[in-house]
Amino acid sequence: MLVVDNLSVRYFGSKDNAISNISLTFQQGEFICILGKSGAGKSTFIRSLNGLQTPTSGDIFWEGKQISNQKEEELRKIRREMGMIFQHFNLIPRLSVLQNVLTGLAGYRSSVKNMFGIFTAEEKKAAEQVIAEVGLKDYIHQRVEHLSGGQKQRVGIARALLQRPKVLLGDEPVSSLDPGISNRIFTLIKELHERHQLLTIINVHDVELAKRFATRIISFSNGNVIFDGSPEQFNEKIFHITYQ
């Protein structure tokens, strides 16, 4: 269970909160899509969940542990339980699919091992398995820079999956992709979500995608939650309030 308790974030030098007094509870198995227009606070919120963004006030608890108050070592353990995928993939273009995916193990390894890129046969086997899961078996030794956008995001998903996460976070992971590809990527995410019994929380641009895949939709406006309900409840009126 992931609990957000009265969370506010204000950026340095800004006079307004980016998000204000957010309280939400997420259960394992939920597939949550977050909607809201540009500047609503979606990225700030999602980045707060795994401690990439420090709260100005309020707390986040993952399985009872307060995220904001942890020592480095404990925070590393918590972070590896939370895989993240990004709009611009955040891959290393010159490296192969396999090498990129293996960076997902960073949270499990010493910094020396990470620096020298030394991986055991077992680690490589686990990486091969997640690469197959995302449908990139034939591309394993290709440099990432030669892949299409959809394939790059599959690499991003495989990297997150190699962490063996319990939570999958996404900050607009399909906003750089064509609608058809976006749908296929969401289909893959949903499959993995079910197979690995994840809690999935994704910011999305496309309301139709959210309605098709989410079990719960949350919409943000001006840093506040203005809707939290089922896809069916997200109606025309809520749509207009969200995007007005």
Ligand X SMILES: Nc1ncnc2c1ncn2[C@@H]1O[C@H](COP(=O)(O)OP(=O)(O)OP(=O)(O)O)[C@@H](O)[C@H]1O
User: From CA 35, how far away is CA 37, in angstroms rounded?
Assistant: 7
| Residues 17-36, mask of contacts with ligand X (x by CB under 6 A) | -x-----------------x
Question: Shortest gap between Cβ of 242 and ligand X (angstroms)?
Answer: 11
Which residues of the chain form contacts with Mg ion (CB under 5 A)?
A: 42-43
Question: Shortest gap between Cβ of 40 and ligand X (angstroms)?
Answer: 4
Question: Shortest gap between Cβ of 41 and ligand X (angstroms)?
Answer: 4
| C-alpha torsion sign, points 222, 212, 148, 165 | positive
Per DSSP, the three-state class of 192 is: helix
55 binds ligand X (CB under 6 A): no
Question: Which of 37-45, 63-71, 155-163, 235-243 is the region at the interface with ligand X (rule: CB under 6 A)?
Answer: 37-45
User: From CA 210, how far away is CA 216, in angstroms rounded?
Assistant: 9
DSSP string, 81-148: TEEEEETTTT--TTSBHHHHHHGGGGGGS-HHHHHHT---HHHHHHHHHHHHHTT-GGGTTSBGGGS-
Question: Shortest gap between Cβ of 96 and ligand X (angstroms)?
Answer: 30
| Residue placing its CB nearer to ligand X in the complex, 11 or 93 | 11
Q: What's the count of helices (H) and strands (E) in the chain, helices before strands?
A: 9, 10
93 binds ligand X (CB under 6 A): no
| Element (DSSP H or E) covering residue 217 | strand 216-221
| Residue placing its CB nearer to ligand X in the complex, 29 or 39 | 39
54 binds ligand X (CB under 6 A): no
| Element (DSSP H or E) covering residue 183 | helix 179-195
Answer for which of 20, 43, 50, 219 binds ligand X (CB under 6 A) is 43
CB 163 within 8 A of CB 81: yes
The set of residues, in sequence order, having a beta carbon less than 8 Å from that of 210 and lying 6+ positions away, is 33, 35, 204, 217, 231, 234
Question: Which of 42-50, 57-65, 94-102, 140-148 is the region at the interface with ligand X (rule: CB under 6 A)?
Answer: 42-50
Residue 244 interface partner, choices ligand X, Mg ion, none, CB cut-off 5-8 Å depending on type: none
CB 219 within 8 A of CB 227: yes
Question: Which of 38-46, 64-72, 96-104, 138-146 is the region at the interface with ligand X (rule: CB under 6 A)?
Answer: 38-46
38 binds ligand X (CB under 6 A): yes
Question: Shortest gap between Cβ of 193 and Mg ion (angstroms)?
Answer: 21
Give me the residues that bind ligand X (CB under 6 A), please: 11, 14, 18, 36, 38-44
